[in-house]
Structure 1
Amino acid sequence: MKIFGPLYDRAISWAAHPRAPTYLTILSFIEAIIFPVMPEVMLAPMCVAQPRRGWWFATLSLAGSMAGALVGYALGHFAFEALKPLFAALGMLAGIESGIALVQEKMAESPWAVFTFLVLGGFMPIPMKVFTWASGIVGVPMLQYVLSMLIGRGKRVFLLAAVIRFGGARAATAMRRWIEPVGWVATALVVGLVAWLVWRAKFA
């Protein structure tokens, strides 16, 4: 079953629209929260069509991603609070809270270690929402979080703009070829991350 290919094609059609810069910013925003298609799939053809404006398009994408990163962090943080009564009824609340306290304690010992981890995570082809939700759940310090998201996402969109500027349309063609397997791998990573967080909180 193909899901990510059609989503990619829809993003490509948005790229040809006169309001593509606005759509790119919106896509970058919602991708940081929940949408499965990375904004790079729209940024790439926009850079191909107008290579001299690639840096501006990358800036718009980064701005949308940063706004979405703040929303994703808040949702991750407050979703757990909303589910506390359910966890308490199941007898799981004490174990979950002790697990979260352990993670927070480790972060307090070396908050810049968390920053380094998130920056390095931004170099992997993993959807931004993986890091935004996880950071909110465990309470990553805001300064380190915002800086890591800025660097991690910024290097991706500006590097893509540079590659398209100097590499031409071949880069965009390669993205279409691999979008389906990459999309399924990213989905598996999201599911695995959620399962790991639940297991860590319950058995830590």
Structure 2
Amino acid sequence: MLRRLYIWTFQLAGRKSAQWWLAFIAFVESSVFLIPADVLFVPMALARPDRAWRYALIATVASVLGGVAGWYIGYHAYEQLAKPVLEFYGKLDTFDRLRGSASADAILLMLITSGLAHLPPIKVVTILSGAAGINIWLFIVSAVLARGARFFFLAWLLQRYGEPIRHFIEKRLGLIAGTVAVILILLFFAVKYFHS
């Protein structure tokens, strides 16, 4: 089922309504959907490099709005909406562990790492941010920076290098972004350790 969903999302890139689908996928990815918006964003930017920055803006704005929706789900409707979504994706145990042990600083760090590298999945962190009562404005600023950095960096790569960079993005960008996320996490804990 996951593979079919991936293929369906990828095929949306060729449609006239692709920009609307990009906004929709980026929105729901940040609150309830499994497939990242990159699956749609990359082929769209390759097909129309002159619109790569526009697509990055659409994806960033929609992703942040979806994140705000996830925050509201976590803050106002945890039992009714968030819990069933997290159970569906098998993330409820992870979520409960994070909710019980993560500080506000750690949650904001996770928002940045998930925005850059999907570590942990963005929907888990947006819901967690709401459930933990993270300040909504701080949440929005962090989401804009993290999601914007990811989409605009992808736009720059695709516009500059075109099709040859696609294999790199699909195979190695996640690893590089994950490495950056791990470095950020280690720096966070090192700073916390030395300040205590």
Query: What is the identity percentage for the equivalent residue pairs of Structure 1 and Structure 2?
Result: 26
Query: Which residue matches 1:12?
Result: 10
Query: Which residue matches 2:44?
Result: 46
* Inter-CA distance 143–173: structure 2 relative to 1 (3 Å threshold): same
* Inter-CA distance 19–119: structure 2 relative to 1 (3 Å threshold): same
Q: How much has 1:70 moved relative to structure 2?
A: 1.0
RMSD after superposition: 2.9
Taking the aligned partners of 2:66 and 2:51, their CA distance within structure 1 comes to: 23
Listed as ranges, the matches of 1:1-204 within 5 Å are: 3-80=1-78, 107=104, 115-126=108-119, 127-173=121-167
- The answer to whether the 8 Å contact 2:157/2:165 transfers is yes
TM-score, normalisation: structure 2: 0.69
Taking the aligned partners of 1:4 and 1:173, their CA distance within structure 2 comes to: 21
- The answer to whether the 8 Å contact 2:113/2:146 transfers is yes
Gaps of 5+ in 1: 84-98, 183-204
Deviates more, 1:49-58 or 1:164-173: 164-173
Q: How much has 1:44 moved relative to structure 2?
A: 0.2
Taking the aligned partners of 1:62 and 1:5, their CA distance within structure 2 comes to: 25
What residue identity is the alignment partner of 2:145? I
Query: Which gives a bigger RCO, structure 1 or 2 (Cα 8 Å, sep 6+)?
Result: 1
Taking the aligned partners of 1:31 and 1:124, their CA distance within structure 2 comes to: 13
What residue identity is the alignment partner of 2:21? Y
Taking the aligned partners of 1:145 and 1:139, their CA distance within structure 2 comes to: 10
- The answer to whether the 8 Å contact 1:115/1:148 transfers is yes
Taking the aligned partners of 1:60 and 1:176, their CA distance within structure 2 comes to: 21
**Structure with the greater alpha carbon radius of gyration:** 1
